[in-house]
A and B are shown apart, each in its own frame.
Chain A
């Protein structure tokens, strides 16, 4: 079984976000990029399946520019066998459905049977792409998984089902699974891994290589358009309560009841 890992680079989780232009988006000048943290869980899950000889190989799939290569190299250094970066001027301005079309075509071209992805990318926080890929491929999907077992082509997974409950589900391949924190502890690249990764190639493919109709992706095909970027509304300065503990606690309860009206 060959596994595809959907991997995206995102601003580090502690990045300060500034708006470049309200109509286009954030200022990326000072941003430090990282592998989307949830994609690290997906990559680790794939590598563990390979370590356990349940997967033959792991290929990383990324829609993005050459600036993503460092993150892809990191994934290769951790143990992924191959990587394909999907890059084409026709891809620019794609919405989630466009990205999903590109990734679905790439997954088909690579002949993978299991796609592991993050539960969401912490830039747009959309949580859309993997479910869309599953639909486009006609595969089953399991979202937000924090425990996974795999035996004889059958996957058993634990996922949140709302109200704090969890479902235990079973499915057979092919599948798209999205990964949550708790699934595993992502490994770091070893020195040997870093050296080996230098010899691995990152293949770059465009619409023509994938047999993808360019009019179905990119800005022109996008159904979702975002604008009016702004920073979150400022909170008015908080009120620090004064007095001894008992006084402050009483005052807090009074404020919550009479001023904020939340209790």
Chain B
């Protein structure tokens, strides 16, 4: 029976992502209650960055040609090797497209219980209990995992990053035999913008049907987002009308986001849109209809015309410097 917590540290071209520090911070708290050490796994990179400072005693690294680009086969093999090496009671990974792809396979291979997209973690009676949304956030449950190993994928921005108080980590390179991946990557299409992906974004500005055209979307919504370094989102109505690509859709059939700040512009707040953004910490609504349901879910609201408000707000944000 293992103990301690293994955190999957994701990186972008070798630079460790914020999600890793969020998870390490939480892992430190949990390990203080359930016992055991905190370690981290880096796949396709070998510079542990600040993982030690944020509490990882050991950083397992897996590198080589098989890991330069994500494949399910290689990542599941790396996870399996790290779990063998660290023998943890709990594995935490960000709920990224990669982890969401790899973890169900890993769980089936190891016969371990998996909780996905969790937004809360707590130690209770020496075990980790998760809290997660279901029915698109219309209900929440606790998740208990039986057995020796519990796997969780955690929604980005669920936990704050704490102070870097730890030391430096011991780096252990694992050699992993991957074999032939069943699914081969033949090409990669770069992201359209240079902003953080919606699912990880800390600030989001979304536009709805009321924006009326792609030209307006580019003229009112994108500059507003740029003024605070926010990622652009859209309602399904805006996407279906062609104002924004589907990759920017927020909601039940789009992306689920969890930012600190979500600004909804000309969006009514349909239940399927709320499904994607209701866990945002601060929600701002700009809508000319005072009865729009979005106001019932927002922290701050401006009842007004988006074509008047957006330019003013962009200017004020820019003035913040």
A contact set with B: CB distance below 8 Å: 11, 13-17, 19, 26, 37-38, 95-97, 100, 122-132, 134-136, 139-144, 146, 156, 158-171, 175, 181-182, 222-232, 235, 238-241, 245-246, 248-250, 252-253, 255-257, 260, 262-263
Contact = CB atoms under 8 A, between A and B. Distances in A.
Contact of B298 (A170, A175, A230, A238): A238
A123 B275 CA distance: 12
A38 to B, nearest CB: 8
A240 B289 CA distance: 12
B152 to A, nearest CB: 11
* A interface secondary structure, majority: mixed
Contacts of B270: 14
Nearest to B262: A262
Nearest to A17: B138
A255 B309 CA distance: 16
Contact of B308 (A124, A162, A245): A245
Residue of B102, B142, B193 with most chain A CB atoms under a 10 A cut-off: B142
11 contacts: A97-B114, A141-B183, A167-B187, A171-B182, A171-B183, A181-B254, A224-B144, A238-B300, A248-B304, A250-B316, A260-B261
A127 B183 contact: no
Given A13-B252, A125-B133, A181-B246, A223 B104 contact: no
A238 B189 contact: no
B6 to A, nearest CB: 18
B142 to A, nearest CB: 4
Given A224-B143, A228-B142, A123 B96 contact: no
A156 B298 CA distance: 42
Interface of B: 10, 12, 69-70, 72-73, 96-98, 100-105, 107-109, 111-117, 133-147, 182-193, 195-198, 200, 203, 228, 246-247, 249, 252-254, 260-261, 270-272, 275, 278-279, 281-285, 290, 295-304, 308-309, 312-313, 316-317, 320
Contact of B320 (A224, A225, A257): A257
Nearest to A250: B316
Given A135-B105, A164-B191, A262 B295 contact: no
Residue of A126, A170, A246, A262 with most chain B CB atoms under a 10 A cut-off: A262
A245 B299 contact: no
Residue of A159, A171, A252 with most chain B CB atoms under a 10 A cut-off: A252
Contact of A260 (B142, B282, B317): B282
* B interface secondary structure, majority: mixed
B116 A169 contact: no
Nearest to B113: A223
Contacts of B188: 161, 165-168
A262 B316 contact: no
A167 B317 CA distance: 35
Contacts of A225: 143-146
Given A141-B105, A169-B184, A260-B299, A162 B97 contact: yes
Contact of B190 (A124, A165, A235): A165
